[in-house]
Chains A and B, each alone.
Chain A
Amino acid sequence: QITLTQQAESLWISPGERVSITCRASQSLLYTDGKHYLSWYQQRPGQTTKALIYHASVRTDGVPTRFIGSGSGTEFTLSIEHVQPEDFAIYYCLQTLKSPFTFGSGTKLEIK
């Protein structure tokens, strides 16, 4: 199965700063259709899990432009520019290229 590694368990930043969360896959997530099957999700207490990015770099409807997905092959990054108070949450990457679908272990964004 494909393993996704999110090295950072926690990241401490101040509101207004920029942060990058990385996700490394054990094999390429590029499919023959030219798309990467890597998506990013946000979990906040008391809220439903929210999809932020799919196909590595496409923002889902309504997601603020400060959320930027990038990367290719096996290395992916979720960047958040000018972090807002509501962005302090846990972020997961997910690969849906091959079953079993697998999540990264999660990165918690914490206020410095």
Chain B
Amino acid sequence: QVTLKESGPGILQPSQTLSLTCTFSGFSLSTYGMGVGWIRQPSGKGLEWLANIWWDDDKYYNPSLKNRLTISKDTSNNQAFLKITNVDTADTATYYCARMYGYFDYWGQGVMVTVSS
């Protein structure tokens, strides 16, 4: 059974760094072709893909967030991570991680993140 669960700080201030963790089970990020992605959704709005990391440590990023994103993984502990630097109120959203094996086949419940001074 594949499950993913996101965790994060809940609230942070503008200019801080957002650190998110995706803890998963039921699959391994060392399996050929496997990936984990991060997607976010502001309240009442659509989905925005942020980044992907693959079994071979290849990484893809959404260029709209320029150089603010860093994705990484800890295969031994079944975790993936996303850091977003220099956050502002526009980064307020629910953040999801999802397994990618051709497509995003399993999603976490999401974690709400609020950026506020």
A residues near B (Cβ < 8 Å) are 1, 37, 39, 41, 48-51, 54-55, 60, 92, 94, 96, 99-106
Q: Determine which of B37, B49, B104, B109 lies in contact with A102 in the assembled complex, contact meaning CB atoms within 8 Å.
A: B49
- For A100, the chain B residues whose CB sits under 8 A away are 49, 60-64
- For B60, the chain A residues whose CB sits under 8 A away are 99-101
Q: Considering only CB atoms, which chain B residue lies closest to A106 in the complex? A: B46
| A48 and B109 within 8 A (CB) | yes
| A92 and B47 within 8 A (CB) | yes
Q: Considering only CB atoms, which chain A residue lies closest to B3 in the complex? A: A48
| A51 and B48 within 8 A (CB) | no
- For B37, the chain A residues whose CB sits under 8 A away are 101
**Cα of A50 to Cα of B46 in the assembled complex, Å:** 15
Interface string of B31-54 (1 = CB under 8 A from A): 000000101000000111100100
Q: Determine which of A48, A51, A105, A106 lies in contact with B103 in the assembled complex, contact meaning CB atoms within 8 Å.
A: A51
Which range contains the number of B residues in contact with the other chain? 20 to 34
A107 to chain B, nearest CB (A): 10
B12 to chain A, nearest CB (A): 24
Q: Determine which of A37, A48, A55, A103 lies in contact with B47 in the assembled complex, contact meaning CB atoms within 8 Å.
A: A103
A71 to chain B, nearest CB (A): 15
| B102 and A54 within 8 A (CB) | yes
Given A48-B107, A49-B107, A51-B105, are A96 and B100 neighbors across the interface (CB < 8 Å)? yes
- For A37, the chain B residues whose CB sits under 8 A away are 103
B61 to chain A, nearest CB (A): 8
**Cα of A1 to Cα of B60 in the assembled complex, Å:** 13
| B49 and A101 within 8 A (CB) | yes
Question: Is B98 close to A, CB under 8 A?
Answer: yes
| B46 and A49 within 8 A (CB) | no
- For B106, the chain A residues whose CB sits under 8 A away are 51
**Cα of A105 to Cα of B41 in the assembled complex, Å:** 11
- For A41, the chain B residues whose CB sits under 8 A away are 47, 104
Known: A55-B102, A94-B103. 15 other contacts (CB 8 A): A1-B63, A39-B104, A48-B108, A49-B47, A49-B107, A51-B104, A51-B105, A54-B105, A92-B46, A96-B103, A99-B52, A100-B62, A103-B48, A104-B46, A106-B47
